[in-house]
Amino acid sequence: MGKFVKISPSILSADFSKLGEEIVSLDKAGADYIHVDVMDGHFVPNITIGPEVIKKLRPLTKKTFDVHLMISPVDKYIEDFSKAGADIITFHPEATSNTSNTIKLIKKQKKKVGISLKPKSSIDLIKDHLDNIDLVLIMSVEPGFGGQKFMPEVIDKLRNIKKIISEKKLNIDLEIDGGINFENCKLAKDAGANVLVSGSTIFKENSGNLKKNISLLRSNQ
């Protein structure tokens, strides 16, 4: 299964003083996506980057920008992040008053749609929308900060969503984000994840050897 797994390094763990260089290095190291965590200090207790930073990074790589919006209300920012260069826009159902409408807004921008579930968020929040989206992102930490420990209890949720996707024969990426390392990545893959988001492991393990760390996450069985 390893060869089908996509790796989406989270730039939350990158060196922000040389973010452009980090993006180029991730591209050369074989990243499939570039995961961009956008936080507003309101929906989650941290503030990261906005559309202007993404716009500046966009010309540096052709890799898919996998943009995770942890902002509320989310709808009014979708156009800005689309124009800045996002390829996939993922939002939380709790950050909108109308999930179907938010999906339509993202599709109107001709972008792929993702919905994210926090560790305690119910599958019921997204079940009725699976036919209309491209990606489900399962958070395996409480969103807000990088470097947190993986919460193994989300594996059941991952497995259950994978079962629904398979039964409906849907072509949806199943992504997991939060504390993913060389050990627990196998658990995630076995439960059905085909996109792994990882920050600290990619940027810090093996003396920051990005290529080696991306390869290990992809191939570890």
**DSSP structure string for 144-169:** T-SSPPP-GGGHHHHHHHHHHHHHHT
Question: What is the C-alpha to C-alpha distance for residues 87 and 45, in angstroms, rounded to an integer?
Answer: 25
The full length of the chain comes to 221
Question: Of 75, 134, 173, 177, which one is the catalytic site residue?
Answer: 177
Report the distance separating Cα 26 and Cα 194, nearest Å: 19
Is 37 annotated in the active site? yes
Return the axis-axis angle of helices 210-219 and 19-28, rounded to nearest 10°. 50
The pLDDT of residue 47 is 87
pTM of full prediction above 0.75:
yes
Listed as ranges, residues in the chain with pLDDT below 50 are 1-3
pLDDT score for 221 = 60
In order of their start, the domains of the chain are: 2-219 (3.20.20.70)
Tens of pLDDT, residues 108-159: 999 999 999 999 999 999 999 999 999 999 999 998 777 778 999 999 999 9
Supply the pLDDT for residue 178.
Answer: 94
Q: In the prediction, which pLDDT does 143 show?
A: 84
From 32, 37, 124, 190, active-site residue: 37
- Residue 177 is among the residues annotated as catalytic for this protein: yes
Q: Which residues contact 123 (CB under 8 A, 6 or more apart)?
A: 117, 157, 160, 161, 164
Residue 178 in contact with residue 213, Cβ under 8 Å?
no
